[in-house]
Structure 1
Amino acid sequence: MILSGPLAAPVADRLAELAPDLATRLAPAGPVPADDLAWADSWSGFELPENLAGSPVRWVHSMAAGVDAMVGALVHAPGPLVLTRTVGAMPARIGTYVLAHVLDDALRLGDYRAQQARGQWRQLPAEDVAGRTGVVLGTGAIGSGVAAALRGAGLRVVGASRSGAPRPAFDDVLTLDGLPEVLPACDVLVCALPLTDTTRGLVGEALLGRLGGALVVNVGRGACVDPGALRRALAAGRVRRAVLDVVETEPLPAGDWRWSHPAVTLTPHISGPTQPGDVAPAIARNRALLAAGVVPETAVDLRRGY
């Protein structure tokens, strides 16, 4: 296996313990040297090398959970090819991130920070989060991690997915078409969707226009949220605050309205950082499953994009 990117060395060290019979080589970011490509049958990293096409590599493992860029490059690859992704502890980390912002909003901590800067001492009305309704778009591993964190704080959590199939982490699950009935009572809307042709711009005018002053958090993919529709929903009071850990262009260009909007919180894609301790066990497990002829649970359907 060729390992690329900033985690390559520590992942190789962990793999030496977990899968000592797996030979690895480290390759710099960018094109993989020709002799390494001729040697390898698998690759792992964050950004797919452009010269991987036509190589003997038949298994690609993403060190990240998001794989939309890789899917676009691999969907038309000749011959059988398996793409798997890293999940690890990211659902719990992202759930903690979302819950932190929900509590910050509910307890009005931002308002108190502003009061402190003005030298003002005044108690503000606030509501408990228990009993509120959260809607999570996406019921996979990440969405389930968010739901678990929110339910732990007492929220009722409704999931929305393509199939509407029940999931243990949620109080209820609807199809995406069933969202209109729950959005008016939604206090917190969380986007944890992968980016596909169906989800691109899904959080747009029609969806945001049905909210009644909700907190919106995006930890999925930036392009799932229509920035123009979000700006209009904030102006209309349909969205009271937006927390964006992902945006459609990263980093967000200078001068974009979201940098300075008082009701927008931006973080630079840090809600679920990947650790070597997530990647190496995932590679070792997926390798063992593939060797046994079993499709790993983190395998990506290249046609669907997730």
Structure 2
Amino acid sequence: MEGTTTAPAARMILSGPLAAPVAERLAELAPDLATRVVPAGPLAAEDLAWADSWSGSALPANLPRSRVRWVHSMAAGVDAIVGALADAPGPLVLTRTIGAMPARIGAYVLAHVLDDVLRLGDYRAQQDRGEWRQLPADDVPGRTAVVLGTGAIGAGVAAALRAAGLRVVGASRSGTPRPAFDDVVGLAALPAVLPACDVLVCALPLTAATRGLVGEALLRRLRGALVVNVGRGACVDPVALRGALDAGRVRRAVLDVVETEPLPAGDWRWSHPRVTLTPHVSGPTLPDDVAPEIVRNRDLLAAGVVPETAVDLGRGY
């Protein structure tokens, strides 16, 4: 694609809960881009024949074999879309929305780190009991966090934690140094750094290689760490996590994502005293995240430039 100039996308289908407000913003930012807002689900034949691009969160089942050649995900996670596009004929570009999510997710992770280190949950429990007692607590600066994933989301987490004084080690498939991190290691070297980490953050996309990666082999290396998952739920093995919590290798788990959402009633994570669950809220996507990225990516693609948010369909991220 690099160096090849094509006409910009002219007709985009929008679906999903953000479709209408995104369409409103696109009318302001790119008035020459025609849009149609349609319900989620399979597209009507008329819409398929009309559109050359699509944006939403759940890919319509009949879109991969249409004339649409550019798909823009309104979310950062694209594993479901990648899977659905596996059999799409001909070249197709998939881009995703990042926007302000790295900073939002970084703030979410930092909030839970501070809650843990300052023992705010213990003080809330004491208040419920009418108990006034100071508890020993450590300083935040000087602690070590290991962040799995060094892309935009991982970098946002690293920025928030480093600003609070933590040393942050990133872990990625390649181990390539990144400026947002104090150090970066390859996944093969990850077991060696885990015993010294106080916080383990999963910010990984879901691929064949990352599914269940945070499992027994890695969790047994921890020495009482806080584990936070803001990546994909299936990257963490729930059976191994429960064993690590019960053995004290994980002192607390904060899970914003789980492998099945909503988490089924009766699952052990609802009631475990050292698990905090939130319903996939750490990095909300807003219309002002989506619309500007659609416009930016549209311009780059028309100029023959691969956007930074383009997804390698072979790798899955």
Instruction: Check whether TM > 0.5.
Output: yes
After TM superposition, list the pairs within 5 Å mapping 1:52-63 onto structure 2.
52-63=63-74
Equivalence for 2:258: 247
Contact preservation (8 Å) 1:193, 1:220: yes
SS at match of 1:145: helix
Equivalence for 1:215: 226
> Across the two proteins, how many residue pairs are aligned to each other?
306
1:151 and 2:162 correspond: yes
After TM superposition, list the pairs within 5 Å mapping 1:225-240 onto structure 2.
225-240=236-251
Alignment partners' CA distance in 2, 1:56 and 1:180: 46
Equivalence for 2:14: 3
Equivalence for 1:37: 48
Alignment partners' CA distance in 2, 1:288 and 1:20: 13
Greater Cα offset, 51-60 or 269-278 = 51-60
Alignment partner of 2:293 out of 273, 282, 286 = 282
Equivalence for 2:26: 15
Equivalence for 2:209: 198
Contact preservation (8 Å) 1:137, 1:160: yes
Equivalence for 2:151: 140
- TM-score, normalised to structure 1, is 0.99
SS at match of 2:34: coil
1:65 and 2:76 correspond: yes
Alignment partners' CA distance in 1, 2:118 and 2:207: 35
Point out which structure has higher relative CO (alpha carbons under 8 A, 6+ apart): 2
1:51 Cα deviation from its structure 2 partner:
1.2
1:53 Cα deviation from its structure 2 partner:
2.6
Alignment partners' CA distance in 2, 1:272 and 1:202: 22
1:17 Cα deviation from its structure 2 partner:
1.2
Alignment partners' CA distance in 2, 1:8 and 1:33: 16
SS at match of 1:179: helix
Alignment partners' CA distance in 2, 1:234 and 1:122: 26
Residue type of the alignment partner of 1:281: P
Contact preservation (8 Å) 2:64, 2:87: no
Alignment partners' CA distance in 2, 1:280 and 1:167: 28
SS at match of 1:3: strand
**CA offset digits 1:212-256 (Å, max 9, x no partner):** 000000000000000000000001100000000000000000000
Write out the 4+ residue segments of structure 1 that deviate beyond 4 Å after TM superposition: none
1:76 Cα deviation from its structure 2 partner:
2.2
1:75 Cα deviation from its structure 2 partner:
2.2
Q: Unmatched 5+ residue regions in structure 2? A: 1-11
Equivalence for 1:117: 128
Q: Unmatched 5+ residue regions in structure 1? A: none
1:54 Cα deviation from its structure 2 partner:
1.7
Contact preservation (8 Å) 1:27, 1:33: no
Equivalence for 2:309: 298
- TM-score, normalised to structure 2, is 0.96
Alignment partners' CA distance in 2, 1:36 and 1:271: 34
1:128 and 2:129 correspond: no
Equivalence for 1:173: 184
SS at match of 2:62: helix
Give the alignment's Cα RMSD to 1 decimal: 0.5
Alignment partner of 2:108 out of 73, 78, 97 = 97
**CA offset digits 1:21-53 (Å, max 9, x no partner):** 100000101111211110000000000001113
SS at match of 2:87: coil
Residue type of the alignment partner of 1:236: A
Residue type of the alignment partner of 2:220: G
Equivalence for 2:199: 188
